[in-house]
């Protein structure tokens, strides 16, 4: 099986982040969306800076935020990636990407999703992330029908997100798509919002990487 990148999103605890660094996780996600219970915007500035003090790739997750505010946060906290989870335009993606940040553009998917909507973002984003469609931005803890990813035919690599749990390792191992790049893990591995269960993640990653 190809080596999928593993992103763990919604980190909010310094101790938890330090523990997860022992695992073969490639990217850590930090949410900058105040309504989210996992948002780091309510943390004191010094604690937020300590939280993001990691050698792992650091992904800032934003929803319809002013791009210049995003760039300021990225500079202060040394983000490596910016994940855009709202209705951001290709122009916004390009602006952020021009500032030496990798851009992950999120699309919220259901059975009727039109994958042609991704085409105008080709060249504007480094990666796409396909998440389950919901009325409001943010995770739902539910999965969409992964089979509809067969309708995605661009070369832009994508992350799979939305309701992934420890029970999904084998199904993910069986997925075949030339642009399938990585998985995004969050609520299915939590003890509480913002705190991940180390053993669940370790067991899942071991199963996923087991040849």
For the segment 70-95, the average pLDDT, to the nearest whole number, is 97
Of 8-17, 28-37, 58-67, 132-141, which gets the smallest average pLDDT?
A: 132-141
Give the confidence band of 104 by pLDDT, cuts at 50, 70, 90: very high
Does position 62 have pLDDT exceeding 90, yes or no? yes
* pLDDT the model gives residue 211: 54
Residue at token pair 């993640």: 201
d(CA 171, CA 96) in angstroms, rounded, equals 34
* pLDDT the model gives residue 136: 65
Would you name the residues annotated as active-site residues?
9, 131
Better-scored residue on pLDDT, 56 or 137? 56
Buried b (16+ CB within 10 A) or exposed e, 42-54: ebeeeebeebbeb
Does position 140 have pLDDT exceeding 70, yes or no? no
Q: In terms of C-beta density within 10 A (0-12 exposed, 13-18 middle, 19 or more buried), how is residue 35 classed?
A: exposed
Q: In terms of C-beta density within 10 A (0-12 exposed, 13-18 middle, 19 or more buried), how is residue 174 classed?
A: exposed
* pLDDT the model gives residue 137: 64
pTM assigned to the model: 0.96
- Rounded to the nearest integer, the mean pLDDT of the chain is 94
Does position 205 have pLDDT exceeding 90, yes or no? yes
Domains of the chain: 5-209 (3.20.20.70)
């Amino acid at each position: 099986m190809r080596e999928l990148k593993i992103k763990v999103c919604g980190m909010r605890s310094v101790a938890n982040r330090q523990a997860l660094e022992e695992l073969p996780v490639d990217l850590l996600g930090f949410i900058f969306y105040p309504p989210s219970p996992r948002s780091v915007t309510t943390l004191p500035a010094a604690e937020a800076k300590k939280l993001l003090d990691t050698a792992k790739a650091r992904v800032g997750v934003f929803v319809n935020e002013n791009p210049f505010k995003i760039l300021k946060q990225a500079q202060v906290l040394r983000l490596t990636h910016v994940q855009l989870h709202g209705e951001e335009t290709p122009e916004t993606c390009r602006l952020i990407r021009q500032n030496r940040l990798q851009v992950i553009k999120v699309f919220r998917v259901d059975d009727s999703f039109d994958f042609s909507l991704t085409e105008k973002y080709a060249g504007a984003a480094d990666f796409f992330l396909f998440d389950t469609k919901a009325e409001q931005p943010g995770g739902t803890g539910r999965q969409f029908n992964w089979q509809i990813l067969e309708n995605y035919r661009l070369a832009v690599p994508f992350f799979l997100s939305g309701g992934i749990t420890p029970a999904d390792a084998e199904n993910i191992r069986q997925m075949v798509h030339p642009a399938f790049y990585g998985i995004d893990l969050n609520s299915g591995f939590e003890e509480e919002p913002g705190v991940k269960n180390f053993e669940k993640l370790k067991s899942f990653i071991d199963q996923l990487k087991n040849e």
